[in-house]
Amino acid sequence: MALFFWLGAASCSRDTENAGQPLPEAKKAPQAQVQPQKQNQDQKLIYDYFPLPEGVKIDGYTAAETAAKATGGKAVMALSLNEDKTYYYSILVRMPEDKWMKVIVNAADGKIMKKIPSKICSNLEHKIFIDHFADLFRDGQRFPEIVMKSSKFKPGEVVADVGCGSGYFTFPIAREVGPKGRVYGVDIDDDAIQIMKERLAEKSCFGDRYKNVEIVKSQIYDICLPENSIATAFICDCELIHEKTGDGDKCFESIAKALKPGGRLIMLSFIDYQLEVMGFKSEKENREHFEKKLKPLGLELIEAGNPLPNPNNFFYIFKKTVK
Ligand SMILES: C[S@@+](CC[C@H](N)C(=O)[O-])C[C@H]1O[C@@H](n2cnc3c(N)ncnc32)[C@H](O)[C@@H]1O
C-alpha cells in the first residue's frame, strides 16, 4: 500500500514506498524475437505484437488463459512487454461485478507473479496504451538510449524527472543512476501519478531494480523537492518548456533551488513545436529565451545541440553556478 507524507506545500506528496534503501539490479533476460500469436474467441487480444525472448516457454494465449483461470475471470487483453530485456505479460482480467484485475505473468514459466487491482475507467485502452505501447512508438522518435548517453548521468546521482508523465524517461534514468542513485518521478497530474504507481508495482515483480524510483505529486509552481537535494533535473516534452506566459517561472525557480551547486538542468523537446507555440523564428531565439529566463536563477547554458538522429530536436544543458 502506498504511504504518503506531506512535504509542506498543501498538495505536494511523495510516495514513500521506494524511499528506503535501493537494492541490487534484476537479472537480464535474452534478446527479443517477434513471434506470431494464437488468437482465441474467448479472448480479445487488442494488441497482437508480441516480442518474445528466445526460450520463452509460453505464448500470450497461454499466459492469458492461465491468468483467467487463476483469477476466476475472463482475460480480455494480453500484452507482452520487452523492457529492460525482461519479459512478461500484463493481462487484464474481468472479475465478477465488472471489476478488473491486472495480472502479471512471467513469460519464462507462465507463473502469475502479481495481481494488481486496477481502477478501470472508460479510457482503459488509452491508459494501457500509454502504459506500454506508447513507449515502443516513442523509441523511434526519442531514442532513449542516446538521450541517456548524452545526459551523462552518473551512478549514484540523484535526479528529478520533472513532468515525468508515465515514466518514459524515469525508468531508463533509474537504470543509469543505479541502486545507489535515486530518481524522483515528479508530476502535477493525478493520472500520471497513478500510472507511475501501477508501473512501479508491475516492475517490482521482477526484482528491486526500480527501488530507486520515488514518485512525487508536485504543484504547478513547485516541484516539491527540498533545496540542494538533486544533482540533475531532467525535463522532456513538458508544458513547462512550451509555455510562454511565464506561469512556469516559479516552477523553474523551485527547480533551481532544488539543484545542488554545480547541478544540471537538462531540457529536451521538439524544436518545430517549440517555435510554433512560442512564436520564435529560430532555435537560436529559443535558446536565448531560456538563457535569459534561467540566468537570474543562477543557471548557465553549458551545452546546446541535438544528439538525436532526427533533426527536429533541441537538447540543452544548464549548470547551476551559484550556491
Ligand atoms: C507530454 S508529458 C511528457 C512526459 C514525459 N516527460 C515524457 O517525455 O514522456 C508532460 C507531463 O508534464 C507534466 N507537467 C506539466 N507541467 C508541469 C509542472 N509544472 N510540474 C510538473 N509536471 C508538469 C504533465 O502533467 C505531463 O504529465
Distance from C-alpha of 45 to C-alpha of 52, rounded to nearest angstrom: 16
| Average pLDDT of the residues in 31-54 | 37
Distance 166 CA to ligand 1 centre (A): 9
Helix (H) or strand (E) holding 317: strand 313-320
φ, ψ at 55 (rounded to 5°): 85, 0
**Burial of 109 from C-beta contacts in 10 A (0-12 / 13-18 / 19+):** exposed
Q: What is the mean pLDDT of the chain?
A: 76
Average pLDDT over residues 171-199: 92
Convert the pLDDT of each residue in 121-137 to its tens digit: 434 444 554 455 555 56
Which one of 93-102, 104-113, 246-255 scores highest in mean pLDDT?
A: 246-255
Nearest to 214 by CA among 7, 84, 22: 22
Q: Where in the chain do CATH 3.40.50.150 domains reside?
A: 4-24+140-320
CATH 3.40.50.150 describes domain 4-24+140-320: yes
238-249 mean pLDDT: 85
* DSSP H or E stretch at residue 194: helix 190-203
Ligand 1 pocket member 249 (CB < 6 A): no
Best residue for ligand 1 mutational test, from 147, 238, 315 (most atoms within 8 Å of Cβ)? 238
Residues of the chain with CATH 3.10.450.40: 32-120
What does pTM read for this prediction?
0.75
Selected from 3.40.50.1860, 3.30.70.141, 3.10.450.40, 1.20.1440.20, the CATH number assigned to the domain covering 32-120 reads 3.10.450.40
Task: Report the C-alpha dihedral over residues 20, 227, 189, 141, rounded to 10 degrees.
Answer: -90
Reported as a single tens digit per residue, the pLDDT across 144-165 is: 999 999 999 999 999 999 999 9
The DSSP result for 164-183, as a single string, is: -TTTTTHHHHHHHH-TTSEE
192 lines ligand 1 (CB under 6 A): yes
Q: Provide the percentage of residues in the chain whose pLDDT is more than 90.
A: 44
Rounded to 5 degrees, φ, ψ at 124 are -50, -55
